[in-house]
A and B are shown apart, each in its own frame.
Chain A
Amino acid sequence: MQINIELNGQETAIECEAHETLLMVLRREGMSSVRFGSSTGETGASAVLFDDLLASSEVILAAQANGHSVVTLESLNTDSSLHPVQAAFAATGAMQSGYSVGAMILGTLQLLKETPDPSEIEIRDMLSGILDRETAYVKPVAAVKQAAAVLRGEEPEPFRPLILKPMTDGVNAVEVDPDDSPPEASDAIPRLIPSSEVPSTSVVGQPEVKVDAVRLVKGNPAFTADFDIRGLLHAKVLRSPHAHARITSIDDSEALAIPGVHAVIHHENINRIKYASGGQSYPNPKPHDQVSFDNKVRHVGDRVAAVAAETPQIAEEACALIKVEYEVLPAVFDELDAGNPDAPVIHDEVDTVDIADRDRNLVHQIFAERGDVDSALQNADRTYEQTFRVHQVQPAPIEPHISTAWLDSDERLVVRTATQVPFHTRRMLAPLVGMDIKDVRIIKPRIGGGFGAKQEMLIEDIVAHLAIATRQPVQLELTRAEEFYASRTRHPQTLTYRTGVDSEGNLVAQELKLVGNTGPYGTHGYTVQTVAGLRGLSSYNCDNKRFDCDVMYTNIPVPGAYRGYGAPQALFGLEAHMEDIALDLGMDPIEFRRQNWVKVGDEMNIAPHLGEQGTTEEELDEYPKVMSNGIEECVAQGSRAIGWHRRHDESWKNPVDRTHIRRGLGFAFCMHGTSIPFLDMGGCSIKLNDDGSFNMLVGATDLGTGADTVLGQIAAEVLGVPLEDIRVYSSDTDVTPFDTGAYASSTTYISGTAAKKAADVVRTRLKERAAMLLDIEIPCSIELRDRRAWAPDGRSVSLEEIALDSLHLNEQEQIMGTGSHVSPDCPPPFAAQFVEIEIDIETGQIEIIKMVMAVDCGVAINPVTASGQVEGGMLQALGYAHCEEIVLDDKGAMVNPSFGPYRIYRADEMPKTEVFLVQTMEDSGPFGAKAVAEIPKDGVAPAVRNAILNATGVRIDELPFTPERVHRALKGN
Chain B
Amino acid sequence: MTKIISYQRPENLEEALSLISQDKHVPLAGGTQLNTNEDTEPLHLVDLQSLALKGIASSNGKLKIGSMTTLHEIMKNSDCPDLIRLSSRSELPSTLRTLATIGGTIASGDSDSQLIASLLVHDAEVTILNSSDGELSVPLQEVLIKPEGLESELIISIDIATDGKSLLEATGRTPADTPIVSVAARRCSDGDRMAVTGVAPTPVLVDPENPTVSLQPPSDFRGDSEYRIHLVKILASRALDLLNGEK
Contacts and interface: CB of A to CB of B under 8 A. Distances in A.
Interface of A: 1, 18-19, 21, 39-42, 44, 47, 50, 53-56, 59-61, 63-64, 66, 103, 107, 125-130, 320, 657-658, 840, 842-845, 847, 882-883, 885, 887, 895-896, 900, 903, 905-906, 908-909, 962-964, 967
Which of B89, B94, B97 has its CB near the most chain A CB atoms (within 10 A)? B94
B178 A129 contact: no
A61 B176 contact: no
B234 A842 contact: yes
Contacts of B40: 320
A126 B94 contact: yes
Nearest to A960: B173
List the 8 closest pairs (A to B, CB-CB), nearest first. Answer: A129-B95, A129-B93, A129-B94, A909-B176, A909-B175, A63-B7, A19-B4, A883-B173
B1 interface: yes
B45 A61 contact: yes
B12 to A, nearest CB: 17
A964 B174 contact: no
B165 interface: no
B11 interface: no
Given A63-B47, A103-B95, A895-B221, A843 B171 contact: yes
A487 B29 CA distance: 34
B93 A64 contact: no
B193 interface: no
A53 B98 contact: yes
A260 to B, nearest CB: 16
Given A64-B28, A962-B222, A59 B35 contact: yes
Contacts of A44: 93-95
A918 to B, nearest CB: 30
16 contacts: A18-B45, A19-B1, A19-B3, A39-B36, A44-B95, A50-B99, A55-B99, A59-B36, A103-B95, A128-B94, A129-B92, A844-B171, A882-B173, A909-B174, A963-B222, A964-B180
Contacts of A962: 173, 222
A505 to B, nearest CB: 37
Contacts of A125: 89, 94
Interface string B155-198: 00000000000000001111111101000000000000000000
B31 interface: yes
Given A64-B7, A908-B93, 6 more contacts: A59-B32, A129-B97, A130-B94, A658-B247, A909-B174, A909-B175
A53 B36 CA distance: 20
B230 interface: yes
Contacts of A107: 94-95
B62 interface: no
Contacts of A847: 175
Contacts of B95: 41, 44, 47, 54-56, 103, 107, 129-130
Nearest to B226: A964
A906 B95 CA distance: 12
B60 to A, nearest CB: 31
Nearest to B223: A964
Which of A19, A842, A882, A962 has its CB near the most chain B CB atoms (within 10 A)? A19
Contacts of B99: 50, 55-56, 59-60
B224 interface: yes
A950 to B, nearest CB: 21
Nearest to B237: A842
Nearest to A60: B31
Nearest to A20: B4
Contact of B31 (A64, A657, A842, A896): A64
B107 interface: no
A967 B95 CA distance: 33
B47 A64 contact: yes
A64 B100 CA distance: 13
A130 B173 CA distance: 19
A320 to B, nearest CB: 8
A314 to B, nearest CB: 12
Contacts of B96: 41-42, 55-56, 59, 129
A492 B39 CA distance: 32
Nearest to B97: A129
A44 B94 CA distance: 9
Contacts of B4: 18-19, 61
Contacts of A843: 171, 231, 234-235
B27 to A, nearest CB: 13
Contacts of A47: 95
Contacts of B22: none
B31 A128 contact: no
B36 A906 contact: no
B98 A845 contact: no
A842 B49 CA distance: 45
Contacts of A129: 92-97
B85 interface: no
B223 A128 contact: no
B36 A883 contact: no
Given A128-B93, A128-B176, A895-B221, A18 B1 contact: no
Contact of B35 (A42, A60, A126, A895): A60
B35 A21 contact: yes
B122 interface: no
Contacts of A963: 171-173, 180, 222-223
A41 B32 contact: yes
A906 B93 contact: yes
Given A903-B174, A962-B222, A967-B230, A59 B98 contact: no
A883 B98 contact: no
Contacts of A127: 94
Which of B95, B98, B171, B227 has its CB near the most chain A CB atoms (within 10 A)? B95
B174 A905 contact: yes
Nearest to A847: B175
B218 to A, nearest CB: 13
Contacts of A21: 35
B39 to A, nearest CB: 13
Contacts of A66: 9
Interface in B214-234: 220-224, 227, 230-231, 234
